[in-house]
Each structure stands twice: as C-alpha cells, then as structure tokens.
C-alpha cells in the first residue's frame, strides 16, 4: 500500500493549479446557500437514471469502468486510467438491460443484466430474469458462467435456464479464476475459458459459504429446525474436509454469530457476535479451541457490521484496513495507517467535516454526544489493489453528490449522478429520537423542506416507515426519490426506526416480534404526535406512505381508530399475514427467520373498516408481495364508504422500475395524490 499523508493529499490538490474554492466546486462540494423560490425538480428529474454510476477500478489500477445513462438504457464506459481525457470504450447491450458492472480481473468485467420474463406454469407468471455475464474490456466476447455448470438432471438443466451465478470470491491473487455459486454449489471458474470445476456440492439447508485469505472454503452457515425452533449453525471445515458445527444460533433469540474474515493465522477467524450483549461487536475466534477471544472492534452505541482485510499477497497481506458499523448510516472506521491517512486526506480535500451528534441508545436510554459527519460525507466506491487509484463519492442526504478519482497525487472530478437536481430544493435530514408510549426510545430520520422556500413550519407531514421490517433507513441520499420528492414539494417526512427494525441493537429489533399493527404501529403514530408537539407537523395534515412492510403499515393506518392520518398510501402492501408467513420472501432464510415473528393485526380481515381515504399501488410483476394482496384489500376497503384509489403498474416488480416511464408513473401517483387527492383537496 502506498502511504499518503493528509498534508500530501491537500498539497497535491493545490498542485492542480486551482484555488481551494475551485477545487471544492470541481469535486462536487455543497451547493451555495439556499435561496427562496428554488424550483423543485420535476417527476422526470427524479425518475431519470443516474447520469453516472457503478464506478469500478481494475485491480492493477490501469482501467476504470462505470455506467452511463443514455435515455432509457445504460451503457458501460471503460477508460484508460492514465488518459482520462481520451474517449472511453463504450459497451452496450441489445437484448437485456445493463444494471451493473465490476472488474473481475484486470481485463475481465462482470456485468449484471435483466429483462422481463414470463413463466408459463398453468397461469402465466410475470417476473424478471437476471443474468451475470463476463466480457472483455471492449465487449467483444461474452460468456455465461451458467454454461460451465453440468446439471445433475433434466429438471435442474431446465431450472438453470432462469438462474444466474453469484461471485463468492474474486480470488485476487489468481489471474484466471474466481469462485462462483450456482444453485448452492461452489465452483472454481476460469474466466478465460469459461470452464469450471465443482469445489463443493451443497444441500438445500446451506445458506452461504465464506473463504479465508487464500480463497479456500473455511466456513458455511446451515439453516435448520430443532425443538427450540429455527436455528443457524456455523460450521468450520476440518482437516479431513468435513464440516464441524461450532455455534448454533436460534433466530428467536436474535443471537448473531457470523464470520467477517480470517487472519493470516489459520486458526483465527474474525466473527461478528452479539452474544450476551445488545449490539454486535467483532471478536477473534480460535477455531481449534472453539473459543471466542478478545474484542477486536466495538462501538458503544452502534452495531459492528463488517471489516476490510488486505487479501493481496505482499508485505501488507492480512492487514486489517478498516471496520464498518451501523451508525446513522453504514460507516467505515479506518485503522491501517496508510489507509487512514488516505481517507482523512480525501475527506479534508472534499470538505467533509464532523460535527457533534447526540445519540440515544434504545437499549438503555442513555444519551451521549459523538463526532460524526452529519451533513456532507464521503464514500470510497472502488480502488486498485495498491490503493493508488481510488474513486470516491461525496454528497449529502439532500445532495446526490459527485464522483472523483484520486490518482498520481491528483483529485479529478468524474461526474455527477443527478446534475439536474439542485440540493437547495431538497431541504435537510437529521437523526432524531422520540419516546414511544411505553417509554422505548425510537430513532428516526426527520427531513424538512427548505425553509427559505416553505417557511419554518409547521408543515404537512408524511410518516414513511421502511420495508422489511427487518431493515432500517440511513442518513444517505435516497435513490428511491420518495423522500426528496416530498420535501421538495413542501412536506416534512419522518422515517421512524420502529421496534422490529434491524441494525439498532437487539432490544429494538426483538421488541417488534408479533407486534405487527400493534406496538410497531404505535411507534409510528407516536412519532407523528411528537412532530406535532415539536411544531414540525400540522395536526390535521399528516399522511402515511410506505412500501412493502411500509405498505402494510399504511393499510393498518387506515384501520386504527386514533384518527391521526388524513389519508394513507400503500405501495405493494402486505394485506394478509397468513400469506406472508409462507410466500412473501423469496430468500428462504428470511422467510423462515421472520415467519415465527409475524403476528398481529391482519389488514385483510378489517379492510372494510377503514376510516380514511387511501391510495394503493402495486406492480403486476411483483413476486415478493404479489398483486393479490392489493387486489383483495382494495375490494374490501371499497365497501367502507371511503374513497380508495388503486393503480396496477404494468411491468413493475418490487422495485426497481424497468423503464423511466414506469418510475415516473409510480412517483406521479404519489405526488398527485398528496397534491390533489387525500380526500379531495390534497394533504
């Protein structure tokens, strides 16, 4: 790794021949101060594909690739990193749409693609087909890794026609091979010949593997049930090639034990565990002794979620570069001296500053102040193996930001994902906490519209619970465009991290079990009432909008008798809890893990009792929460006497949108309903 000091990086920027103010502009610094009457972005502005995205760097740092939007499609651009001023190679697709690109090897790209797909199984099932393909830096030769797999039966051969492999390990020290997973099996694939050998034959209970620093399979997770319920078993490979169980975690206890990486010592693994604690930390684990060792990393208020280890053979092989924790957003904590200096220098050059942030622990109620980049922040998006070529993004929760590249001591702008969106029109987002009616501290993200345009408040307000519910929101730019669209039109938005949300500690997570539509719903309502007390929300102008589980919450909002909401919008909402237990989740682990925690108010049984106007929308290609959830709910809700609008969106799944027209259609329904619907006069 090349060591880069903060002073050297800032000095390098000065050597570019521009003043610090100009360098800040070029690097995508925050927009000037908000001025009144800034035009809100249009629906088409929000619906557009990002102008530039998916930046990736070849391991040797000689090439850079990214996606560029061209109207309805995206193409791959490949640059010579030494000559960014030259025209890049353009790689397009004629049959499927390109969704992502990454370097698999120095001269091989992995490309993800998708298209609508209709399955004739009695009735036609409308879904989407995804593919992962390999190509060269000019897009001349394309290879499908599925073709390397030898099916064990005719049924499996037929099944594989609709499947795509996932990359388990890019094997950074091997110039020709990667490890992939196909139908649970692990294969070593030669990316040049497209020939593969099976490394591990799997079974239906295996839900994932981990490799060590050299790319050898060392750990796997197995899901099964015993007398106590569903459990996840962590198994390590023994000297004879078999698998030994080391830890059994029952989902009902929400105990986490997952491998984050391996040390250069073959007996030492790094594991993420919340055993006997509320928040996960990273420990050393002695595989031979089956013993949890010292804490390697923990945060007093947030959960540890991962780490980065140098896997490239050389003097820094096995060096721990950074840890990751679930702060207000997923946050990297660098520790390797060279990498820490690089990140610090880039943050200074891009004007990323830390500010005091008051944080409350939901487990204890204790409050303390931490230093955190609450406004503008930076992310390392891609880097070469020696970190000599680094692509970074810098922006804010109200600013889609810009990409830059640091190479040869220079920081050069690469492009903006959404240059048509003026951050001054979006407002601001902050982390807040409020008390639920039973005393539990609930984190939330509060977004307000720009005060220069809409005044100091109170505002019409939308409560927007996330999906999952085992998920969370973050203090980041929202690529769904829902939050930004609403604040740009004068609405305040609250995203409550209600009980049942993941990533805030075990107590908050487990408190949502079997409380669907009950205490989980209280948390959302309590957030709305708190906003009224804070002078943010207008009491008679509050709506709820959510998607997936959030759509379920919006359906319930129409049933509960508290009278908090003027109207509700349910996107792809779950209306029948009996169906969700068996068919909502495509991931078998998620389906099994959440099934026993799903209980509470069942919207379909009380849809005829809704007391507020509602708008429901869903996609005809949604295989996660199928169309019938919305169909049945709307049919019954319309017998209530309330106005119920329903939109079935053609060729829309559980996100993302297949076309920009579909994205604009979905955003337009929400925008129009809040502006002119919601009972007839808008919110």
At residue 3, the pLDDT reads: 30
At residue 295, the pLDDT reads: 97
pLDDT exceeds 50 at position 15: no
pLDDT exceeds 60 at position 4: no
pLDDT exceeds 90 at position 22: no
At residue 127, the pLDDT reads: 87
CA distance 681 to 270: 57
At residue 489, the pLDDT reads: 97
User: Over the stretch 361-377, which tens digit does the pLDDT of each residue have?
Assistant: 999 999 999 999 999 99
CA distance 43 to 672: 10
Better pLDDT: 207 or 600: 207
For residue 176, give the DSSP letter. Answer: S
pLDDT exceeds 90 at position 403: yes
Written as six digits, the tokens of 138 are 């000019």
The phi, psi pair for 593, rounded to 5°, reads -65, -40
At residue 591, the pLDDT reads: 58
At residue 599, the pLDDT reads: 72
CA angle 365, 367, 371 (to 5 degrees): 145
User: Over the stretch 507-532, which tens digit does the pLDDT of each residue have?
Assistant: 999 999 999 889 999 999 999 999 99
CA distance 399 to 523: 29
User: Over the stretch 130-181, which tens digit does the pLDDT of each residue have?
Assistant: 999 999 999 999 999 998 888 888 888 888 878 889 999 999 999 999 999 9
Coil, strand, or helix at residue 137? coil
Q: What is the mean pLDDT of residues 18-29?
A: 33
Better pLDDT: 123 or 305: 305
CA distance 496 to 473: 8
Binned at pLDDT 50, 70 and 90, residue 18 comes out as very low
Got the DSSP string for 435-494? Answer: E-TTS-EEEEEEEE--HHHH-S--EEEEE---SSSS----SS--TT-HHHHHHHTT-EEE
Written as six digits, the tokens of 203 are 């079974």
Contact call for residues 99 and 74 (beta carbons, < 8 A): yes
CA distance 379 to 381: 6
Q: What is the mean pLDDT of residues 223-229?
A: 89
Helix boundaries (H) for 145-286: 154-160
The phi, psi pair for 603, rounded to 5°, reads -60, -35
CA distance 601 to 556: 8
pLDDT exceeds 90 at position 192: yes
Q: What is the mean pLDDT of residues 337-348?
A: 95
Task: Indicate the burial class of 118 (C-beta count within 10 angstroms; 0-12, 13-18, 19 or more).
Answer: exposed
Mean pLDDT of the chain: 90
At residue 62, the pLDDT reads: 97
At residue 160, the pLDDT reads: 82
Q: Give percent above pLDDT 70 in the chain.
A: 92
User: Over the stretch 294-323, which tens digit does the pLDDT of each residue have?
Assistant: 999 999 999 999 999 999 999 999 999 999
Please report which helix (H) or strand (E) contains residue 10, including its range: helix 6-14
pLDDT exceeds 70 at position 582: no
Bridge partners (DSSP) of residue 679 are: none
Q: What is the mean pLDDT of residues 236-262?
A: 92
At residue 102, the pLDDT reads: 97
User: Over the stretch 487-497, which tens digit does the pLDDT of each residue have?
Assistant: 999 999 999 99
């Amino acid at each position: 790794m090349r060591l880069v000091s903060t002073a050297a990086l800032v000095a390098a920027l000065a050597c570019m021949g521009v003043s610090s103010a100009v360098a800040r502009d070029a690097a995508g610094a925050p927009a000037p101060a908000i001025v009144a009457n800034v035009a809100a972005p249009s629906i088409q502005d929000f619906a557009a594909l990002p102008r530039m995205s998916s930046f990736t760097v070849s391991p040797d740092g000689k090439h850079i690739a990214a996606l560029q939007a061209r109207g309805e499609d995206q193409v791959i651009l490949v640059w010579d990193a030494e000559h960014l001023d030259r025209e890049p190679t353009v790689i397009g697709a004629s049959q499927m749409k390109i969704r992502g690109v990454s370097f698999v090897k120095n001269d091989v790209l992995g490309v993800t693609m998708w298209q609508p797909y209709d399955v004739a199984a009695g009735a036609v099932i409308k879904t989407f087909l995804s593919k992962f393909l390999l190509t060269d830096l000019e897009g001349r030769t394309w290879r499908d890794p599925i073709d390397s797999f030898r099916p064990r039966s005719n049924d499996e051969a037929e099944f594989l026609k609709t499947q795509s492999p996932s990359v388990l390990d890019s094997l950074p020290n091997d110039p020709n091979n990667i490890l992939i997973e196909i139908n649970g099996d692990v294969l070593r694939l030669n990316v040049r010949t497209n020939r593969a050998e099976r490394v591990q034959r799997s079974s239906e209970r295996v839900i994932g593997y981990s490799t060590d620093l050299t790319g050898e399979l060392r750990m796997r997770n197995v899901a099964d049930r015993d007398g106590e319920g569903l459990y996840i078993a962590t198994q390590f490979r023994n000297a004879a090639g078999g698998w030994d169980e080391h830890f059994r975690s029952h989902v009902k206890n929400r105990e986490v034990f997952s491998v984050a990486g391996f040390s250069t010592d073959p007996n030492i693994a790094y594991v993420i565990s919340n055993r006997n604690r509320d928040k996960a930390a990273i420990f050393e684990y002695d595989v031979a002794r089956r013993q949890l060792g010292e804490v390697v990393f923990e945060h007093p208020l947030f959960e540890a979620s991962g780490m980065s280890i140098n896997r490239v053979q050389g003097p820094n092989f096995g060096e721990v570069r950074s840890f990751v924790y679930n702060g207000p957003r997923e946050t990297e904590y660098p520790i390797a001296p060279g990498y820490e200096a690089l990140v610090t220098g880039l943050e200074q050059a891009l004007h990323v500053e830390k500010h005091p942030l008051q944080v409350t622990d939901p487990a204890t109620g204790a409050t303390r102040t931490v230093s955190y980049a609450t406004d503008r922040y930076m992310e390392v998006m891609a880097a070469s193996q020696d970190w000599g070529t680094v692509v970074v993004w810098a922006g804010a929760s109200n600013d889609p930001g810009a990409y830059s590249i640091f190479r040869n001591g220079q920081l050069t702008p690469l492009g903006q994902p959404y240059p048509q969106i003026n951050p001054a029109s979006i407002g601001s987002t902050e982390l807040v906490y409020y008390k639920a009616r039973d005393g539990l501290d609930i984190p939330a993200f509060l977004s307000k519209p720009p005060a220069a345009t809409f005044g100091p408040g109170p505002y019409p307000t939308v409560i927007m619970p996330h999906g999952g519910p085992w998920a969370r929101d973050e203090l980041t730019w929202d690529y769904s465009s829902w939050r930004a669209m609403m604040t740009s039109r004068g609405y305040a938005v609250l995203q409550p991290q209600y009980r049942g949300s993941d990533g805030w500690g075990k107590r908050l997570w487990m408190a949502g079990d079997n409380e669907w539509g009950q205490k989980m719903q209280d948390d959302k309502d309590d957030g709305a009432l708190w906003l009224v007390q804070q002078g943010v929300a207008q009491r008679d102008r509050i709506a709820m909008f959510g998607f997936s589980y959030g759509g379920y919450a919006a359906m319930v909002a129409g049933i509960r008798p508290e009278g908090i909401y003027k109207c509700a919008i349910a996107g792809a909402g779950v209306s029948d809890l009996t169906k969700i237990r068996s068919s909502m989740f495509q991931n078998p682990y998620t389906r099994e893990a959440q099934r026993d925690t799903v209980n509470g108010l069942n919207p379909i049984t009380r849809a005829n009792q809704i007391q507020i106007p509602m708008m429901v929308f869903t996609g005809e290609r949604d295989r996660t929460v199928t169309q019938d959830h919305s169909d049945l709910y709307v049919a019954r809700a319309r017998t209530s006497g309330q106005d119920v609008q329903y939109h079935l969106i053609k060729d829309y799944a559980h996100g993302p949108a297949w076309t920009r027209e579909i994205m604009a259609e979905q955003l337009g329904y929400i925008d129009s309903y809040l502006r002119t619907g919601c009972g007839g006069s808008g919110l």
